Amino acid sequence: MSESVPIDHAPWPARALLLAALGIVIGPVIHLLVESASANLWSEAPLAMAGAAFLAVGGVALALSLERLRWRWSAGFALGVGVVVALVGWWNGAPGEWGAGEGWQFFSSLLATAIALPLFQTARDEGGLRIGPSVALYHAWTNVILWFAAWGFALATFLLVLLLGALFDLIGLSILRTLFDAEWPVWMLVCGAFGGAVGLLRDRDSVVGVLQKVVRAILSVLAPVLAAGLLVFVVALLFTGLEPLWEKTKSTTPIVLVCLLGAVVLINAVIGNSREEEGRAAPLRWSAMALAAVMLPLALVAAVSTAKRIDQYGFTPDRLWALVFVGVAIAFAGAYLAVLVRGRGAWGKMLRRANVRLAVGICLLALFLALPIVSFGAISTRDQVARLEQGRITPDRFDWAALRFDFGPAGRRALERLARSGSPAVRAKASAAVKAQDRWALKAPELTPAERLRRDPPKLVVTPAGAKVPAGLAEAVAMTGRCTVETCRLELGHPEQPILISVPCRNCEIEIDVFARHAIGWTRLKSFAPPPPVRTVDAAGALPTATVEIRAVEKRQVFVDGKPVGPVLN
């Protein structure tokens, strides 16, 4: 691999017309294939959807890669990636029966295509399997810019025709509106505009090159901001530990992975496509290096978060794909850190070479995972069913909707087996899941207070010490759902109006519930969070021993004809 420069392809005016005509033909055909005869949005015929995927992916690949130089190579590449994506869609079956695993497999095939495209364009320019980092990065940035610019032009074209249709409609000529109601002309217009826009921009490489530099310059300015934020976050973890990450949100892994993706994009915006394009300003260089250094700790946080979630709840297709993404993040983070340590002054050049190697590896991995070789749905089904059969999770808490709708064919086969051979409780739940037409039909019924108390007994500290909780009050407390993880305090100093004080998590606001006795039992009278500074409590551990009082408070308020009006006056 060498730091070669991209080939300056000569203009090809016929290309814009060719791609526009191709879009005009392909658009209505795609609409015909994906249109459903029923009220569903998409067709349920796997072969029709596979044909639409072939035309869409192959058409976009041809539009972005087509050059007069070795145009047969571009046509062959477009044909190949179109066939691969179509086969993945066909293997997955009817889209309405796709689970999370099938959806991610299809996404993986699209990701493999997107990564393979600039690698192919580089090999085509070189005339063989020689992939120069500068050329590959140039094509990658160019493809992204062309994608957004062409769709922007297609949107502008659609809006323009829509405006003209409204204009002619004013004088009774409704032909454009009638055509738009038929839908297929819209596909023809949009796809034709997309192809024509790509062809026009391809003939203006100098404009695309300027756009590249502008986009990278704008993005590189954000590198110091993200670097400072991630550095502060990593340093803060040394003092807070990792526990707050699990308490505050269930989305730790996605958030961290998006931050890592942003770091990769901004680092490459700073280093550019070649040494001549590297950011010269010291803040940009140092921020890119800081981002490369901080990526590995963040990737390890994502790994711990994913492992913790899997340990708690077992495998699902989404969690297995999260493991894949975390593995890719660790590979990028490790490679970037190694290049930073070894490269020193030449780290930009080494990083561009590492990017190409990483891209090839991810492309092959994505292609492998897209093929029906490894089934994450089957792996997840075996794990979840084992947890159920071993008693690690009860039938009431088992996610039957996920097994029915998210785990693909393996999940549905497991449900049919459990409906025949499981315990009575399992058979009943599995049979209901097999018959369900959508996941909402499997929504758990509302538990009675007694059932909620048996399933989720609240953790209570009762004051005064030794006081007996009145009959029915424990069920009313259980219905709040606030005291199953953190310990709450139930103040019985005023028997007719017990007070429940809870702090749902560390550094969370205090929540207060006031209960009242009625003829039919206990009900929650009101629920509120106190104003500052009471609402900001440092630790829930101090709650059981804190002094809690109810005091009479005098207030002033405006009364009109004996009726209170407006807020309480302090």
Would you state the pLDDT for residue 80? 94
Report percent pLDDT > 70 for the chain.
85
Residue with tokens 């097999």: 434
Residue 340 forms part of a structural domain: yes
Model confidence over 511-528: pLDDT tens digits? 788 888 776 677 776 655
Model confidence over 147-171: pLDDT tens digits? 999 999 999 999 998 888 888 888 8
Would you state the pLDDT for residue 446? 58
Question: Domain boundary residue among 187, 203, 219?
Answer: 203
Residue with tokens 């209505």: 28
How far apart CA 377 and CA 382 sit, in angstroms, is 9
Q: Are residues 364 and 418 in the same domain?
A: no
Would you state the pLDDT for residue 226? 93
Task: Say whether pLDDT at 550 is over 50.
Answer: yes
Would you state the pLDDT for residue 534? 45
The band of 472, judged by pLDDT with boundaries at 50, 70 and 90, is: confident
Listed residue (310, 314, 321, 315) closest to 370, CA to CA: 321
CA 353 remoteness from chain centre: 29
Task: Say whether pLDDT at 112 is over 90.
Answer: yes
* Tally of domains within the chain: 4
Q: Where are the alpha helices (DSSP H) in 314-346?
A: 317-343
Mean pLDDT over 189-197 rounds to: 92
**Going by DSSP bridges, is the β-strand pair 460-463/556-560 parallel, antiparallel, or unpaired?**
unpaired
Residue 7 forms part of a structural domain: no
Residue 450 forms part of a structural domain: no
How far apart CA 68 and CA 297 sit, in angstroms, is 46
Assess contact for 188 and 196: CB atoms under 8 A: no
Q: How far is CA 439 from CA 75, 99, 102, 103, 114, in A?
A: 43, 12, 17, 17, 33
Please list the residues that pair with 512 across neighbouring strands: 501, 528
Question: Domain boundary residue among 176, 203, 230?
Answer: 203
Residue 199 forms part of a structural domain: yes
Q: Are residues 68 and 191 in the same domain?
A: yes
Would you state the pLDDT for residue 479? 76
Mean pLDDT over 180-207 rounds to: 87
Residue 1 forms part of a structural domain: no
How many Cβ atoms sit within 10 Å of the Cβ of residue 508?
17
Q: Are residues 263 and 198 in the same domain?
A: no
Q: Are residues 187 and 67 in the same domain?
A: yes
Mean pLDDT (the chain) is 82
φ, ψ of residue 569 to 5 degrees: the values are -95, 130
Would you state the pLDDT for residue 39? 47
Would you state the pLDDT for residue 296? 93
Q: Are residues 188 and 39 in the same domain?
A: yes
Domain enclosing residue 247, as ranges: 205-374
Task: Say whether pLDDT at 410 is over 50.
Answer: yes
Residue 4 forms part of a structural domain: no
Choice between 185 and 537, residue whose per-residue pLDDT is larger: 185
The band of 540, judged by pLDDT with boundaries at 50, 70 and 90, is: very low
The band of 273, judged by pLDDT with boundaries at 50, 70 and 90, is: confident
Q: What is the pTM of this model?
A: 0.73
Question: Domain boundary residue among 407, 442, 477?
Answer: 442
Q: Are residues 357 and 387 in the same domain?
A: no
Would you state the pLDDT for residue 196? 92
CA 198 remoteness from chain centre: 29
Query: Which tokens hold the place of 219?
Result: 């993005």
The band of 237, judged by pLDDT with boundaries at 50, 70 and 90, is: confident
Model confidence over 120-152: pLDDT tens digits? 999 888 887 778 888 888 889 999 999 999 999
Q: Are residues 406 and 467 in the same domain?
A: no
